[in-house]
Amino acid sequence: MVMGDTGVSYSIYYWILAILMFASGFVVAWTIAKGIRVAWYSWLLGALGVLALLAAAQFGVTTFLERAPFAFWPGMLLFALPGAILLAIAFRLSMGRQKKQAVS
């Protein structure tokens, strides 16, 4: 384990990575188990959203390791906000498709 001068460990990033990947895998498995039909573009938007959140986690950890915490919030606006928006759009598209199929 490599630690920076700030006392923040690189392992924090790996924990965030593990939690995000576990949550993503759980959502995919739950969607398949419930038989929810999701369009390919919803999967694509979801994957891009998760990648953006991973980039935000990586950026957030490295700003503190490099002793530049003032760069944290602009980085979160640049990476995390679009990631959250993409995930919300993917969720809304898939739920709208489910409602449309239930009515038919």
SS3 3: strand
Residue 26 within any structural domain of the chain:
yes
- pTM summary value: 0.77
Query: What is the model's pLDDT at position 7?
Result: 55
Domain total in the chain: 1
Residue 91 within any structural domain of the chain:
yes
Write the CA distances from 42 to 5, 23, 39, 58, integer angstroms: 41, 17, 5, 24
Residue 5 within any structural domain of the chain:
no
> Which band of pLDDT confidence, cut at 50, 70 and 90, is reported for residue 1?
very low
- What digits encode the pLDDT tens for the residues 76-88? 999 999 999 999 9
Residue 20 within any structural domain of the chain:
yes
- What digits encode the pLDDT tens for the residues 32-72? 898 888 889 999 999 999 999 999 988 988 888 888 888 88
Given 3-state DSSP classes, what are the helix, strand and coil percentages for the chain, each rounded to the nearest 5?
A: 80, 0, 15
Residue 53 within any structural domain of the chain:
yes
Query: What is the model's pLDDT at position 70?
Result: 87
Give residue 93's domain range. 11-99
Query: What is the model's pLDDT at position 38?
Result: 87
